[in-house]
Amino acid sequence: MTDQERQDIKAKLIELGIWGTHELGDPLTSKQDARVVQSRLQEWLAAAVLLSSTGYVGDSPARHIDVVRGEFSYRIADGDNYPEAICLAALALPEFLKQHPECAADQK
């Protein structure tokens, strides 16, 4: 991923309200910051729905992010590492929730 692509993704995270303009760190390069993003995304999901991160096949740190609801699992993002994958999942989640409103947190 290029620096420009990283900047574009971070700008979209800010636009979606997932990452603050004044927050220090970088969720695309820091596992700790990526965990903050995952925690924020989890709040968008219903109680029985989880974000799952899988990866580390052989020597590859590549990650896959799935939305898991009961016996159903939906792949929403793939990345070269966990921070990249969770940030790409953050960009994909709004559209996923439009297509699968049953997975969204109750918006009372």
CATH value at residue 93 = 3.30.2120
pLDDT top residue among 1 and 79: 79
Q: State how many domains the chain has.
A: 1
* Position 73 in a domain: yes
* Position 90 in a domain: yes
* Position 108 in a domain: no
Between CA 82 and CA 50, with CA 18 as vertex, the angle to 5 degrees is: 55
Percent of the chain with pLDDT over 90: 81
- pLDDT band at 43, cuts 50/70/90? very high
Closest CA to 51 of 69, 67, 39, 37: 67
Q: What mean pLDDT, rounded, does the chain reach?
A: 91
Give bridge partners of residue 67 from the DSSP assignment: 51, 74
Integer CA distances (angstroms), 14 to 10, 22, 35, 62, 94, in order: 6, 10, 16, 24, 14
pLDDT, position 31: 92
- The model's pTM is 0.89
Give bridge partners of residue 55 from the DSSP assignment: 63
d(CA 99, CA 3): 31
* Position 49 in a domain: yes
Does residue 90 contact residue 37 with C-beta atoms inside 8 Å? yes
Place of tokens 């925690």: 39
pLDDT, position 60: 59
Residues spanned by the domain of 61: 3-103
- pLDDT band at 62, cuts 50/70/90? confident
Does residue 18 surpass a pLDDT of 70? yes
- pLDDT band at 1, cuts 50/70/90? confident
How far out from the chain centre does Cα 95 lie?
Answer: 12
